[in-house]
Structures are given as structure tokens and as C-alpha cells.
Amino acid sequence: MNQAVENFRSRDYWIVENAQYAAVSFRLRKCGRIVNEMAGDRDCTLLDVGCGPAALRSVLRPNVAYHGIDIAIHDPAPYLQEIDIANDPIDFSGKHFDFVVAMGLFEYMGQQQDRKFDEIRAIMKNDGKFIMSYINFGHFRRLVWPNYNNVKSIAEMAEHLKKVFHVERYFPVSHHWRQKQPGKRSLQGLQMKVNFNIPIFTPAMAVEYFFVCSAKK
């Protein structure tokens, strides 16, 4: 399944496309919940790579200081920087972070993927965590949009991550028979708590997975 090519979209494309991520999606709410649980009450820093309109910020506790980078920033703010990471390194003024997250990004990182993992490792604090989402291209009704330039199985993605990180766990963001995020509130409540793999069901029905990684010791 492994397909990674070098056709990156420009800022002109993403400034239009990423506006649709302004509302907090199920994926971001679940990511926020995981980060908040891991952060507890301690003051921490977080970098959201490919942050889009920075919707994740609104679901984080105030003790998690939010920073975001993206190729196309809509509303400039001190905690946001516009960087095209296909051409420039992942960086935010030389800072190091307790959490680095990348939601819905690595499907678009083509052959840059492994280099971006190295850059993320370099800006993580030693006890920091990296949390990323990745589409389940093994879904039984998978949709492979032409815009994806990095299409891998979940097992392949795990192998790539393991070269740089300790992969602590990976589990479904949500399940759906049509490979879309859960719609009904009741289903969302249930799926928010399903942070484990269900044999046979998850590989065929997971929409996306979360990977929770730490630095290799």
C-alpha cells in the first residue's frame, strides 16, 4: 500500500481548504481530552503542526499553552506562525514542547514524512509526547482522495514511527461504516471512550487512528 509522492499543495490551496476545519471536530475533541488527561494540572506547552484555524486551542485546559504552525494562517496571533513545512523545518522560535500534535496532516506529507518525524523529535522535551492522527486506509469502504500524497497502512505507519519514537499505543479515533466521523451525539459519547482496538472490527471500521508516542530513550 505504501505510496508517497512529492506533489505538495500550495498556500493558495490550503487557505481555502482549511477554512472548513474552523469548527471543533470529533477528532479534535478527542485529542483535546487525551492531552488534558495527560497534562493534568501541570503547566505545559503544546505545538499543533498543521493547525489550520487553531480549533484545537478551544478544547485545551488553560494550563496547556497552545502554539500552532500552518502553511495558511487565517487570523494572525502571537501563538501562531505561518510555515510551509514541506519546504522549511518544523520549528516555533526554537522552543521545545511537552506535546506536539499533528491532526490530519501526515496524509499530506509525502516523502517528507520521516524527515518531519525527526524534526518533531528534535523539538520535543525529553519527556514530551507526540500525538498524531492518521487515516485508516484499510477501512473496508476506504476513500483515498487524490490530494493524499502519503498513503500507508496503519502497520506501515507504526513501523516508520518506531524508527524515531517509542510508540506507546495506537487506537481508533472513531469507528464508522462509511469512513466518516461519528455524527450523532450519543455515538460520539461512546466513541470518545473507545481508546482500544477491537479485533477484526477496528481494522475494518476505524476511520482514523491516534498514535501516542514518546521520545526513544
Ligand X SMILES: C[S@@+](CC[C@H](N)C(=O)[O-])C[C@H]1O[C@@H](n2cnc3c(N)ncnc32)[C@H](O)[C@@H]1O
- Enumerate binding residues for ligand X (CB under 6 A): 8, 14, 18, 21, 25, 27-28, 50-52, 55, 70-72, 84-86, 103-105, 108
Minimum CB distance to ligand X smaller for 73 or for 205 = 73
Minimum CB distance to ligand X smaller for 76 or for 199 = 76
Minimum CB distance to ligand X smaller for 86 or for 198 = 86
Question: From residue 166, how far is each of 36, 126, 158, 171, 211 by CA, in Å?
Answer: 21, 12, 10, 15, 10
Long-range contacts of 82-88 (CB under 8 A, 24+ apart): 84/11, 85/49, 85/50, 85/109, 85/112, 85/116, 85/119, 86/8, 86/110, 86/112
CB of 115 to ligand X, least distance (A): 12
Minimum CB distance to ligand X smaller for 25 or for 214 = 25
CB of 94 to ligand X, least distance (A): 18
CB of 44 to ligand X, least distance (A): 19
Q: What span, in angstroms and rounded, lies between the C-alpha atoms of 202 and 167? A: 18
Q: What span, in angstroms and rounded, lies between the C-alpha atoms of 128 and 70? A: 21
CB of 108 to ligand X, least distance (A): 5
CB of 24 to ligand X, least distance (A): 8
Minimum CB distance to ligand X smaller for 82 or for 125 = 82
- The bridge status of strand 64-70 relative to strand 165-175 is unpaired
CB of 107 to ligand X, least distance (A): 7
Question: From residue 90, how far is each of 93, 110, 146, 213 by CA, in Å?
Answer: 10, 15, 25, 17
